[in-house]
Structure 1
Amino acid sequence: MDSDGMRDGPGTHANPVPRPAGPPRVPAAPPMPPGAPGAPGAQSGAPAVPGAPPGALVPPGAPPGAPPGAPGPAGGREGWGPAVPPLPPPPDGSDFLSWLRTPRPESPPGVWRFGHRPRPQEEPERVPARQLFAGALIALLSGWLLCSLLYHGYLGGFWLWPWYVLAPKSWTLGEGGMVAGVASYLYEGLVFVGIFAALGRVGRWGEIWRRFGPPAWLRAAPGQGPPPPPEEDPAAWPALRAAGAVDAAERLASDARAGLMRDVDHARIVRAWQGVQRGRHGLAAFAGAVLRDGAGACPHPSGDRDLPARQAPHDLVTGQVRLGTAADDSRNPYAYRGAGLGLGPELLGTSLLAVGPAGSGKTGAVVRPLAESLCLHALSGRAAVVVVGAAGAGLGPADAYDVVIRVGSPDSVHDLDLYGGTTDPDEAAAVLAEALVGDLADPHPSGDSRRSTTVLAQVLGPFRAVHGRFPGVPELRQLLDGAPEPLAVLRRGLQEAGHASLLRELDARERQMGHPGDVASVLADRLALLDRPAFASFFDTSGRTRPFALTALDHPVRVRVDLPARGHADASRLLARLVLAQFTASVTVREDRSLFACLVLDDASGAVTPEAVRGIQRLRSAGAGVVLTLRTLDDVPRPLRGPLLGAAGCRMALSGLTPWDGQDFAEVWGKEWTEATDVTDRQIIAETPAGKAVHMLRRVITGKAPTARAVTVRQVERERWSASELAHAVPPGHAVLSLTSVRGEHAPPLLVDLRH
């Protein structure tokens, strides 16, 4: 119960294991006090990171004033300096409790729910500012004039009759002394306040205060006020109390008040409690772990309780990461304008496709925050994540991941399983064929992909039957090239073992070698991209290493795959297709689909194939999703662009898009009914001499002929975002994003500022 079932699966680590698999036995690191440099919540629009360790936003050892994510001094862990001494802990966990108790109302898809204030669906009628201030001033002057007239008796004394009725007679005769005088002044003050209140309502003083008064965070800051009652206070763990685990609830509440609990701890323990409710774990084991370890109970196998750094605002109660702010633009629905944009597993479960040129912010503003969020979910036991990108792409520090695979680097501790961890030759052949020639395959099922799968199965099955393993890259290349000696060894082994069916497979392979249409030569040529000196120590199947296999995604593991940076562009695209094919094949057969699995593929150029699109379509029902980025849709074959945009439930077009790419987005987003206003100016013809004189004078003063304006409002159907608008009207640092949740809820294309 110590790990809530979140144990490493076989093949998830290579020797040596980079981190201890057991829970930490040291006291939790104290959180940073509010206001300290790099303290949680210092970023604009971010909730305070509750109980975050020192250096949560700025790397440990970075110079003062360094931006988030800046590297520390040389030495220590990769890209990070030695840890600085912890700062004194705060007197209590007030920051964490305030964060936990902040309202998170139900909102439309994509709205950042932390402290959100819902707005009406339709925009109310907005009075122009000049008219608003003019009306307010007139109301103020009218109130002042009316009160002055009443006070000086110019309007009679009718307004004093309630005073004469309610006050003692001695007071009305002036015999009450100071008490009567004060009471009379109070009555007059109440009358005058009522007059100003009524006229202020007519003059819309309240609307002026709402539109031009202090910011909303000054009028009501989230999380302030008295704590809710215990049965409604999330910090009191009412669900545990209702189930009878009162002692465990008291221990967790005590750690929260003492500042020993982080947001990751809270999310991890909530996940473990959900396992108890589903019957996966016993209540006694859960309560015992909590009583023993407190906020550190049910740890992640790595022992980590947070990431070494955070660059984006996260809210682990809702599972969202904030990517930006919906622009206050007329093209955005009124309910979204000015609201934060937050993405979570309920949206990523429909997959996300982001398209934008280099420098538009795909990696820094989209991929990095999402990868960071998924790593936090993995530490909470909620997700498994695989992040794939070029070496040095800025996908987070190595210490933020459990497994880092640096393909082509001799310093890489981990290897990648070429066959995805499967023991079925047919399944291995299908995945490997997709990686090798998937981009060459015909869109129809009878194309090269199926023939390539058959060819690979004809050699993989016999090899595994003889050697007890799949072939390595050099061995497989020799078999595909038809080298006589390896084929003879296989034949002798099959004959000795009596595998008649596999002998027929091998005979069929040898007969097809001389045919002009044999695809084995194409497979061998593609496989030669991996049979290079740079990859000599990778993809080993002899048992000398324990390569990572994507079948381990039924555990909350964090994986980063660094593709070769230079000189191996074709190999990088092949490996991207391989990881994508293995991911879609493995996550669809998991038993526990409550664990969200996500593949983040930075630069999916060359990875989108017909089979990949079909695989993406199956992920939504499997509790998984992918995040793909492209520089342009031209990197995808024309027949696949429409199916790819249709398979991704969330679509993002960043600034700098070409009109041709914009046209594809405009088509998939469709059209909507809107009001079109036509204004027509018609010249007025005067018929009388006086009218003509007035018109002449008006023309001399204004320089224009007198006209009458006719306004026509009609319903028309127009594109939500046209190709021209997507190409030329999206400002730098912005994107247009449409969203679909796994429950089928939709958000129309939104103009989003990714910089705030």
Structure 2
Amino acid sequence: MGLDGARSHDERTTATPRTPMPHPRPPARVPFDLAAWASAPRPEADPGVFRQDHRQLDPERAEAAKVPTWPLLLRAGLNAVVGWLAFVYGTQLALRVIVLTVWVDHPSSTAVTVVGLSVNALVLAVVIKVFGRMGRWPEVWRRYALPLLSRTVTEEVPDTEEEQSEAARQRDPWAVLRQGGAGVAAGRLDGEAVGDVDYVRIRRAWESAQADPVFLPAFVEQVSLRGAAAFAHPSEARELPGRTERHDLLLGQVRLGTAQDVPKNPLTHRSAGFALDPVVLGTSLLAVGPAGTGKTARLARPVAEALCLQALAGTACAVVIGAADADLGPDAWYDVVIAPGDPASRYGLDLYGAAQDPDEAAARLAEALLPDELTARAETARTALQQMVGPFHAAFGRYPGVRELRALLAGEPESLEALVKGLRAAERLGSFERDLEHREHQRGRADDPGALLADRLALLDRPAFEGAFATDGTGRPPFAMRVLDHPLRVRVKLPERSHPEAARMLSRLLVGQFVQAAGSRGDRSLFAGLVVDDASAALDAGIVRGLQRLRGANAGVVLLLRTLVDLPEALRAPLFGAVGCRAAFPGIAPWDGKLFSEAWGTHLVRETAVTLAPDTSGGIVRRAGRLGRKALSGTTAQTESVTTREVERLRWSPSDLAHALPAGHAVVSLTAVSGEQVPPLLVDLRG
């Protein structure tokens, strides 16, 4: 957030509160141990692994750990006995060979001792190497000997002064401040309860101050004055009420579940915590599954919670779109809550996204207004809307409201006369006269796109939406998507029950504005995250193309779908190619599973085939014995042939995805912004 983190919302967006709305931090049920949390190990790991306190898995040790106790101990004991015999007789054999080949007459006692010890050491090393590996002695040592020794030894050797000081420095969360000359600020923070949000926010401000030493006194002054509340989010909130998930804000990770210990999962992920962070969300995520399978509760809500926490820490901005009754967190999580259709809503929506170019704003609005079945008329609709929006903006210095735009597209004489009069007063009539004439020629024709757009705008020109989309300052403060370079938390509640078609249009408009605004930001230091609870109406060809550009813009979207059938067929394959992360939830249709299966491809597996054939070997005696056995038991003697080969198989077949996924689980594949990929993982999302 930097040193300007305490600025008010009025300097950041037109839709933010005029006065701060502090959300008091609820008392923690368990005291937060900042030192332990900040110094917890976070080893490097593959994308998708929750790195806090993660233990790297050694593949050999994992395989050895699967061996039961008694077979392991029996094998170790047998190898120890054989190894001892090999050591005894091996040393004798080696010494005899030396005496017969290279030994000199009358050797000195020292030479005898040196040669004897050397031979014993060499043979012992070979025995330990060979029989220790076959008997898995290291696994026995790790599994049984070490725990026994740890319980036996009760007196620990005290650490040296250097080790004690190093340990203290590692557990001091403010050591970097003391070393950098901000000891006074560190002392103030030592005496306060600092949460993980506070810690990450202050550390981010410290990094900004380190970039320019001029800001160091300002940093110390702010922390000395406000303590843990220094550089707080403009809302003054320092925590989310009702926070439930496990987060590691130092890495921006939210833990969603556990990758299962199954052969289909890579060894590096088995039994490890599964997490999402901006590194993988930056490639965008598509989740498909029927209602009730946990997409919202176990994916959308935790990601929304993580983005809101990161916004409070000054590292992200969050936009969350869903139905009014979707469980995407309480309103207290968000700075701006937009509920078109709800008279109690405090904020409205800028239909043009505060775009600087009228033609660009009109084009995005036209694409959002048209339903899927009329996309073939998108080009003429864009032109018609641009021919009205551009002149209106030139005449009045603002964009037209819904009712004004509807009247212009319908060709109402009073509205057109007022527009011409405004252009003449602004001395811009000559620039737009041809546009107005072209619209006049189109009016009344059967294929006039203006009439179609006016009918679609009528869905937004309803009494329930009064003041929600005003552009003249008479309605509610409008939220504009151009504020994605500030740590805002925005929730849009769509009226899917009362106005379903209007909700579809607004969903498509908002997603399009986000993709457009996130890709054109000048300051990309904050991760811009968008969560869409039901994206079936929010996608078109332009948005799908724009998703790929978000990877380089430090932004990403999470799209939830009930089924891919809700999308036009021409969009399904391009959408799979545009997103880097894909999640399949239980109960998806086989035709949906086919796209996932094709996207995840195949891999080599070792396949063992067993072939049984009648046994015809041997002479008369063996054949007679087999005939007698068949007469007595009724079974035919058979030979068994085992063939092992490597074959290509689908990682997950459509049938497995449709019928074999347990409840509460999902299969998720990830791609990091750097291009690193993680094959599909079976993840338990229930804990």
Task: Give the SS at the match of 1:294.
Answer: helix
Task: Give the SS at the match of 1:229.
Answer: helix
1:255-278 alpha-carbon deviations (Å, 9 max, x no partner)? 4xx5x1101011111221232344
Aligned equivalent of 2:608, options 677, 682, 706? 677
* Counterpart residue type for residue 301 of structure 2: R
1:401-451 alpha-carbon deviations (Å, 9 max, x no partner)? 111111101111111111112243112102211211273465xxxx53332
- The aligned counterpart of 2:124 is none
1:207 Cα deviation (Å)?
A: 4.1
Q: TM-score, normalised by structure 1?
A: 0.77
* Counterpart residue type for residue 260 of structure 2: A
Cα distance change of structure 1 residues 415 and 695 upon mapping to structure 2, 3 Å threshold = same
Q: Answer with 203-212 or 522-531: which moved more.
A: 203-212
Task: Give the SS at the match of 2:484.
Answer: helix
Aligned equivalent of 2:399, options 470, 474, 484? 470
- Partner Cα distance (1:339, 1:112) in 2: 7
- Partner Cα distance (1:280, 1:537) in 2: 48
- The aligned counterpart of 1:12 is 13
- Partner Cα distance (2:532, 2:433) in 1: 40
Partners of 2:16 and 2:335 within 8 A in 1 = no
* Counterpart residue type for residue 558 of structure 1: R
What aligned pairs does 1:510-549 form with structure 2 within 5 A after superposition?
510-544=440-474, 545-549=476-480
Cα distance change of structure 1 residues 129 and 743 upon mapping to structure 2, 3 Å threshold = closer
Q: Are positions 1:119 and 2:57 aligned together?
A: yes
- Partner Cα distance (2:445, 2:60) in 1: 68
Cα distance change of structure 1 residues 701 and 555 upon mapping to structure 2, 3 Å threshold = farther
- The aligned counterpart of 1:647 is 578
What aligned pairs does 1:73-472 form with structure 2 within 5 A after superposition?
95-120=33-58, 125=63, 129=67, 133-137=70-74, 204=136, 207=139, 229=166, 233=170, 235-252=172-189, 254-255=190-191, 260-279=193-212, 282-437=215-370, 439-440=372-373, 442=375, 448-472=377-401
- Partner Cα distance (1:234, 1:381) in 2: 24
Q: Are positions 1:619 and 2:550 aligned together?
A: yes
1:698 Cα deviation (Å)?
A: 7.0
* Counterpart residue type for residue 425 of structure 1: P
- Where structure 1 has 5 or more consecutive residues not aligned to the other structure, the ranges are 35-50, 52-94, 148-194, 220-224
Partners of 2:253 and 2:306 within 8 A in 1 = yes
1:575-607 alpha-carbon deviations (Å, 9 max, x no partner)? 101111111121222221010101111000111
1:29 Cα deviation (Å)?
A: 6.6
Percent pairwise identity: 49
1:694 Cα deviation (Å)?
A: 5.9
1:376-411 alpha-carbon deviations (Å, 9 max, x no partner)? 000000001010000111110111111111110111
Task: Give the SS at the match of 1:680.
Answer: strand
Q: TM-score, normalised by structure 2?
A: 0.84
* Counterpart residue type for residue 401 of structure 2: G
Cα distance change of structure 1 residues 424 and 680 upon mapping to structure 2, 3 Å threshold = same
Partners of 2:12 and 2:486 within 8 A in 1 = no
- Partner Cα distance (1:341, 1:391) in 2: 29
* Counterpart residue type for residue 686 of structure 2: R
1:727 Cα deviation (Å)?
A: 1.0
* Counterpart residue type for residue 528 of structure 1: A
Count matched residues.
633
Aligned equivalent of 2:494, options 563, 576, 588? 563
1:560 Cα deviation (Å)?
A: 0.4
Cα distance change of structure 1 residues 280 and 379 upon mapping to structure 2, 3 Å threshold = farther
1:297 Cα deviation (Å)?
A: 1.3
- Partner Cα distance (2:12, 2:214) in 1: 25
Cα distance change of structure 1 residues 490 and 620 upon mapping to structure 2, 3 Å threshold = same
Q: Answer with 294-303 or 6-15: which moved more.
A: 6-15
Higher helix share: 2
1:49-100 alpha-carbon deviations (Å, 9 max, x no partner)? xx3xxxxxxxxxxxxxxxxxxxxxxxxxxxxxxxxxxxxxxxxxxx222222
Task: Give the SS at the match of 1:332.
Answer: coil
- Partner Cα distance (1:5, 1:591) in 2: 21
Cα distance change of structure 1 residues 553 and 724 upon mapping to structure 2, 3 Å threshold = same
- Partner Cα distance (2:144, 2:661) in 1: 28
Cα distance change of structure 1 residues 684 and 279 upon mapping to structure 2, 3 Å threshold = farther
Task: Give the SS at the match of 2:608.
Answer: strand
1:536-581 alpha-carbon deviations (Å, 9 max, x no partner)? 2310112123211111111100010111141311111101011111
Cα distance change of structure 1 residues 744 and 441 upon mapping to structure 2, 3 Å threshold = farther
1:592-644 alpha-carbon deviations (Å, 9 max, x no partner)? 10101011110001111001101111111111111110000011111111110
Cα distance change of structure 1 residues 613 and 228 upon mapping to structure 2, 3 Å threshold = farther
Partners of 1:645 and 1:668 within 8 A in 2 = yes
Task: Give the SS at the match of 1:311.
Answer: coil
- The aligned counterpart of 1:72 is none
- The aligned counterpart of 2:92 is none
Partners of 1:8 and 1:555 within 8 A in 2 = no
1:342 Cα deviation (Å)?
A: 0.5
* Counterpart residue type for residue 45 of structure 2: S
- The aligned counterpart of 1:171 is none
Aligned equivalent of 2:664, options 713, 733, 748? 733
Partners of 2:79 and 2:135 within 8 A in 1 = no
Cα distance change of structure 1 residues 297 and 533 upon mapping to structure 2, 3 Å threshold = same
Task: Give the SS at the match of 1:118.
Answer: coil
Q: Answer with 423-432 or 106-115: which moved more.
A: 423-432
- Partner Cα distance (1:697, 1:294) in 2: 93
* Counterpart residue type for residue 110 of structure 1: G
Aligned equivalent of 1:583, options 492, 514, 517? 514
- Partner Cα distance (2:213, 2:598) in 1: 46
Partners of 1:473 and 1:539 within 8 A in 2 = yes
- Partner Cα distance (1:357, 1:297) in 2: 45
* Counterpart residue type for residue 256 of structure 2: L
1:107 Cα deviation (Å)?
A: 0.3
RMSD: 3.5
1:18-63 alpha-carbon deviations (Å, 9 max, x no partner)? 6348xx9x9x8764346xxxxxxxxxxxxxxxx3xxxxxxxxxxxx
Cα distance change of structure 1 residues 598 and 438 upon mapping to structure 2, 3 Å threshold = farther
Aligned equivalent of 1:574, options 497, 505, 515? 505
Cα distance change of structure 1 residues 236 and 227 upon mapping to structure 2, 3 Å threshold = farther
- Partner Cα distance (1:212, 1:346) in 2: 40
- Partner Cα distance (1:708, 1:113) in 2: 52
Task: Give the SS at the match of 1:413.
Answer: coil
Task: Give the SS at the match of 1:714.
Answer: strand
- The aligned counterpart of 2:91 is none
- The aligned counterpart of 1:481 is 410
- Partner Cα distance (2:282, 2:371) in 1: 24
- Partner Cα distance (1:507, 1:280) in 2: 61
- Partner Cα distance (1:350, 1:465) in 2: 39
Cα distance change of structure 1 residues 599 and 134 upon mapping to structure 2, 3 Å threshold = closer
- Partner Cα distance (1:383, 1:119) in 2: 32
- Partner Cα distance (1:581, 1:724) in 2: 34
* Counterpart residue type for residue 322 of structure 1: R
- The aligned counterpart of 2:29 is 32
1:338 Cα deviation (Å)?
A: 0.9
- Partner Cα distance (2:499, 2:142) in 1: 58
Aligned equivalent of 1:600, options 504, 509, 531? 531
- Where structure 2 has 5 or more consecutive residues not aligned to the other structure, the ranges are 85-126, 152-158
1:3 Cα deviation (Å)?
A: 4.5
- Partner Cα distance (2:213, 2:501) in 1: 45
Partners of 2:6 and 2:234 within 8 A in 1 = no
Partners of 2:666 and 2:683 within 8 A in 1 = yes
Q: Are positions 1:712 and 2:643 aligned together?
A: yes
1:285 Cα deviation (Å)?
A: 1.3
